[in-house]
Amino acid sequence: MRLGWGTGRMPAWRMAGSKPLAVVLAAALLGGAAPAPVPSPAEIWSSSLPSEAVESVTVTADAKGPAIWRLARGNGEVWILGTIGPMPEDLAWNRAGLQRLIAGARQLLLPPAPDVGMIDAAWFYLWHGDLLRQPDGSSLQQTLPGPLAARFAQAAALAGKDASRYADDVALVAAMRLQRDFLSSHSLTRQEPRETVERLARRARVPVRRMGEFDLMPTVRAVLALPQARQRPCLEQAVDDAFRQARDAAAAADAWADGNIDQVKAHYAETKLLECVAATSPEAAGVNALSVGLIVKGLDQALRDGGKSAAVISIGPLLRQGGVLEQLAAKGVAISHPE
């Protein structure tokens, strides 16, 4: 899908705001929101996506409203809001259709969340803090080829920062921090529209449930233990993401709000950082497969239990070849659009 420490070094689990490093990595691996308030490796949905990946799916949307998918089997149905990210924090979009779908639903289903505790994060920093920072006497810029160092400095400026902010970071940590800084400086968020949908559900007294959880720390350790030479391409991808999102994020969000799938495909892509992390680490790729599997299992169970459910799922794992909708279609689930 088209998705520093200075002299007083900040503990790793507070590297990005107040979120543990593992939670920050979770957001990078799973494509969206972190567990409290997560894009997925290889959530790559661009104009080059093979048509067979979504040929069995029919999509529509009410005027000026996001596209919604309907799953049906037996006496069960699930209405899915497909999301993209990041999007402007102040994006206006029509919630009326979604409110009608949530009304009377027996639950709102959210994607799986990583199980990451502060104790795990603190333990990781105490025993593996050297994986997060440059060796003494070295800086990130010194490890980068000249052209990449120059583009990284430009991307940092685009995020409103100086490249020296990341001098002590290893390449992958710098990539994640650059991504977060860019989103913050451009008032972009990965928490929406999920947080808005959660509020609508709670106002309607509809229970909100995650479709499972999993241990992320083994993946964190494996990814950050990669040699810097193998991490460097992921930093390059993060730089590419910053330039692309500066150009396309607002247009993709506007298209999403209007339910214009063609224009979403033209402007939206999950971060290439995800694809890079998955390519360099089998453990990271496994997290993606696990997350998709849990979503399929959760939706399948909702249909078995009967009645109406609502769900919020990133368009990446939802639509890609071998993804959620394709797996559910193989289980005999009818996939269509609202009447």
pLDDT tens for 301-310 read 999 999 999 9
3 state DSSP class of 73 = strand
How many contiguous H segments (helices) and E segments (strands) does the chain have?
Answer: 14, 10
Pairing type for strands 213-215 and 68-73 reads unpaired
- Written as six digits, the tokens of 181 are 């800084």
Rounded Cα distance between 204 and 102, Å, is 7
Position 47 scores a pLDDT of 27
Alpha carbon separation from 93 to 64, 66, 196 (Å, rounded): 7, 8, 11
pLDDT of res. 299: 97
Q: What is the pLDDT of residues 43-82, one digit of tens each?
A: 222 222 333 333 334 444 445 789 999 999 999 999 999 9
Other beta carbons within 10 Å of 294 = 18
Regions of the chain where pLDDT drops below 50:
1-20, 30-62, 118-121, 123, 127, 338-339
pTM of structure: 0.76
